[in-house]
């Protein structure tokens, strides 16, 4: 019987270094013989990537927060069904750039929607599926924004005001405190080498736990 793989998510505000560090995480885990799927939200499936485009594009019509929330979960439902669950069932690990914690942070913390609405959709769309481990890359908003703006054009979210991103950050930190067993919080304002040293420790912790649970024959 194949054992379910681990589901790892990476979260944080704008420009904290999620993409950069997911590449590091992927290399680190592959070197340790882990077979993994690296994916992202919103996105990850054909439908999800099309919805991502709609969510990030700047239009002349303001997007209603509830419409935004439902699009996030529509993309997530398709992503789970077509990519995440099949990989986990096949024993592969899944590393996902953002997942439902981002919905709590952005749509509840940022936009002010009720947590209950997200919790209801979370249960409806995900059933029992929750990340096994969530790496939160945390940095002051000004640090992340400075890094993100260097890349050029801003998307619809990146154009929000600083107060929005402060609420997003506070919500992430609150989630990490409430679920401290699942979260590993890394100070992402440090130089990249220091961030990756801590990330390496998280990888070692996960692969060691995994080997104890699933020893080689
Ligand atoms: N969203 C939502 O609202 N609700 C949801 O449920 C979900 C998402 C799932 C798209 O996400 C948007 O969707 C997002 C929230 C919303 N809002 N925004 N914007 P995304 O993850 O695709 O987009 P993002 O947050 O904008 O990611 P990003 O800007 O690509 O940032 P990043 O991946 O965290 O950073 P990076 O590209 O790895 O690094 C940025 C730069 O900093 C780069 O030049 C690096 O070389 C540099 N860097 C990284 N780390 C360091 C350190 N430690 N020191 C110095 N320089 C560094």
Distance from residue 37's CA to the centre of ligand 1 (Å): 19
- The mean pLDDT value for 70-81 works out to 98
Distance from residue 17's CA to the centre of ligand 1 (Å): 6
Distance from residue 148's CA to the centre of ligand 1 (Å): 7
Helices vs strands, H then E, count in the chain = 9, 5
- CA-to-CA dists, residue 81 to 4, 51, 98, 100, 129, angstroms: 15, 16, 17, 15, 11
Q: What is the DSSP string of 161-217?
A: -HHHHHHHHHHHHHHHHHTTTTEEEEETTS-HHHHHHHHHHHHHHHHHHHHHHS---
Q: 135-151 pLDDT, tens per residue?
A: 999 999 999 999 888 87
Residue 10 structure tokens: 């990476």
Which atom from ligand 1 is nearest to the alpha carbon of 154? 19
Q: Which of 210, 192, 191 is nearest to 202 (CA)?
A: 210
- The mean pLDDT value for 177-182 works out to 97
- Residue 90 has a pLDDT of 95
- Residue 214 has a pLDDT of 65
Does the pLDDT of residue 197 top 90, yes or no?
yes
With a Cβ cut-off of 6 Å, ligand 1 is lined by: 12, 14-20, 41-42, 72, 97-98, 102-103, 106-107, 147-148, 150, 155, 157-158, 188, 191-192, 195
- The mean pLDDT value for 121-145 works out to 97
- Residue 213 has a pLDDT of 65
- The mean pLDDT value for 95-100 works out to 98
Return mean pLDDT, the chain: 94
- CA-to-CA dists, residue 202 to 58, 99, 197, angstroms: 37, 19, 9
- Residue 212 has a pLDDT of 64
Contact at 8 Å (CB) between 104 and 122? no
Does the pLDDT of residue 82 top 90, yes or no?
yes
Where is average pLDDT lowest: 13-27, 129-143, 172-186, 199-213?
A: 199-213
């Amino acid at each position: 019987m194949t054992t379910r793989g681990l589901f790892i998510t990476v979260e944080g505000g704008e420009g904290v270094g999620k993409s950069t560090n997911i590449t590091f995480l992927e290399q680190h885990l592959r070197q340790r013989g882990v077979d993994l799927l690296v994916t992202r939200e919103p996105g990850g499936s054909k439908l999800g990537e099309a919805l991502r485009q709609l969510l990030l594009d700047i239009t002349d019509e303001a997007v209603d927060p509830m419409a935004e929330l439902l699009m996030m979960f529509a993309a997530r439902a398709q992503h789970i069904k077509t990519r995440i669950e099949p990989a986990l069932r096949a024993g592969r690990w899944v590393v996902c750039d953002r997942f439902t914690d981002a919905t709590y942070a952005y749509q509840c913390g940022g936009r002010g929607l009720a947590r209950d609405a997200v919790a209801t959709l979370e249960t409806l769309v995900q059933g029992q599926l929750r990340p096994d481990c969530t790496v939160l890359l945390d940095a002051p908003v000004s640090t992340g924004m400075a890094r993100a703006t260097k890349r050029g054009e801003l998307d619809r979210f990146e154009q929000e005001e600083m107060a929005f991103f402060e609420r997003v950050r506070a919500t992430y930190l609150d989630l990490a405190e409430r679920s401290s067993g699942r979260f590993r919080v890394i100070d992402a304002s440090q130089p990249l080498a220091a961030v990756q040293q801590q990330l390496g420790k998280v990888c070692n912790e996960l692969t060691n736990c995994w080997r104890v649970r699933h020893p080689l024959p």
